[in-house]
Amino acid sequence: MFPLKTLVGAAAIACSLFETSTATATQWESVVRNADEALYVDLDSLRMVDGHVEAQALHTYSKARTLGQDWYAHRSRVMTYRFDCNGEKLAFTAFEMRSGELGSGETVIAGTTGGYMFPAASDPLDGKLMGKVCSPANLTRAERHGGDAGRLASR
């Protein structure tokens, strides 16, 4: 049996480690949830890049999804987006598909894209994500976080 003093000391160290890890944790905020999937945006990732807002989003699914004909089965994906808030367009600039929910498990495939912009209205989830990222409070957050420290294009 451990002396009480040792147990109290270990508990204090564990608590301080927990506080440190949660203080630096990603700030995921829910965008939309249903029985099959959920979409979150990392508010700490918001920043201005070339007059657009860049953000990371996490898509998580209740069942594995694939690309094409059963390629790259994954339960979640972390995407880096670039948003043209005025033009209501967005682009994917990087992605990582993971085998587990909520970004857990092994990386199935990851990469970068050319960043082609397309209308957010072409997908309801993208429209909701754009609404969250391009809200006045989050635009202010993006400008505060910097990046190129530029203001939103034509604002």
Domains defined along the chain, listed by start: 27-145 (2.40.128.710)
Flag whether pLDDT at 5 surpasses 60: no
CB-based contacts of 96, cutoff 8 Å, min separation 6:
77, 78, 107, 109, 110
Calpha distance 89→85 (Å, rounded): 7
* pLDDT tens sequence across 46-81: 999 988 999 999 999 999 999 887 899 999 999 999
- What's the confidence (pLDDT) of residue 153? 42
Give the mean pLDDT of the chain. 81
Under the banding of pLDDT at 50, 70 and 90, the label for residue 44 is very high
Report the half-sphere exposure of 79 (CA within 13 A, side-chain side): 20
Rounded to 5 degrees, φ, ψ at 129 are -65, -45
Rounded to 5 degrees, φ, ψ at 104 are -90, 175
Under the banding of pLDDT at 50, 70 and 90, the label for residue 4 is very low
pTM: 0.75
Q: At 153, list the tokens.
A: 């294009």
The proportion of the chain whose per-residue pLDDT surpasses 70, expressed as a percent, equals: 78
* pLDDT tens sequence across 105-142: 999 999 999 889 999 888 889 999 999 999 999 899 88
Q: Where are the alpha helices (DSSP H) in the chain?
A: 4-23, 124-133, 136-145
CB 118 within 8 A of CB 90: yes
- What's the confidence (pLDDT) of residue 27? 83
